[in-house]
Amino acid sequence: MTTGAPPGARPPRQVAAIGAAVEAWGSATGQGSRRPDLPWRRTREPWPVLVSEVLAQQTQVSRVRPAYGRFLAAFPTPAACAGATLGDVLRAWEGMGYNRRARNLHRAAAAVVADHNGSVPDDLDALLALPGVGPYTARAVLAFAFGRDVGVVDTNAGRVLARAVAGRTLPPAEAQRLVDAMVPPGRGWSFGQALLDLGATVCTSRDPACPACPVRRRCRWAAAGRPTPDPARGSAGQSSTQPRFAGSDREGRGRLVAALCSRPLGAAEVAAAAGWPDDPGRAARVAEALVADGLAARGRDGGLWLP
């Protein structure tokens, strides 16, 4: 009889045992100094959790900390965010980059108000329907705000799953099924935090600290002698290399949004504000893309302002 399990798959009990070991490690270290004291871990309120997850996308924790407090001080509820202009949201977001995230969060807040009476929904499909909310963010809200027994797969978690649990490259759907099977009943929050911490502090991309790993005796990659290629490469959650930022259009976009957070720009000021005073054609193209993305508005004179 065919079970549909991939070749070499671990029995469900072994998968659950690894999940229990990860959660126990996280719970034990949670009282010590190894677990980062992150402000969004002190709340179970859905809106702050959603804000923290959107802020953390492709962004270092050191930059998220101050932005998290600043953003929630300005917009403590979805209604407060939805009732603000996009310009106000972008000003609170200033310095974070990837400004489409701010636009999507503004739109998500409006959808929460319009469709869910101002409360972030606790249903996976409803969360996925919110602008800018993908599979990881939706499940993170379910686990970290609502305590649901669902697994989360980001870059760090995906690395642990591929190396320790599967010992091979994992496509996204399989990784999600695997991590869901690892969650100890009733421990969705603590397991999810522990798994993320394990990948961030022990099962790192370079030079993983295998002797300190709570599942080292069960790790298939370690048992095989850590062969190459690393099974984490190409697995679910592993982000591709980001294009160079310096000198890119993305850098110019960021400069323009930062300038617009201070004041509107006249047409003659756009090229200099983008950092390309000698290439007005490139600046105009990037400015047009900002307008198309809804991140800027253009007047008849060619000037720009925040909507």
Q: Is position 53 annotated as part of the catalytic site? A: yes
Out of 53, 94, 251, 288, pick the active-site residue.
Answer: 53
| Bridging pattern class, strands 297-298 and 304-305 | antiparallel
Q: Are 29 and 205 in contact (CB under 8 A)?
A: no
Helix (H, G, I), strand (E, B) or coil at 297: strand
- Nearest CA among 156, 232, 246 for reference residue 193: 156
Q: How far is CA 193 from CA 24, 32, 143, 190, 196, in A?
A: 11, 14, 9, 5, 5
Q: Are 188 and 143 in contact (CB under 8 A)?
A: yes
Burial of 217 from C-beta contacts in 10 A (0-12 / 13-18 / 19+): exposed
Helices (H), the chain: 12-29, 46-55, 61-74, 78-82, 86-93, 100-116, 124-128, 135-144, 155-160, 172-182, 188-201, 220-223, 249-260, 270-274, 280-292
**What distance in Å separates the CA atoms of residue 187 and residue 67, rounded to the nearest whole number?**
29
34-38 contacts at long range (C-beta below 8 A, 24 or more positions apart):
34/197, 34/201, 35/193, 35/197, 36/61, 36/197, 38/65
Q: Which residues contact 278 (CB under 8 A, 6 or more apart)?
A: 271
**DSSP-assigned letter for residue 162:** I
Residues classed as catalytic: 53
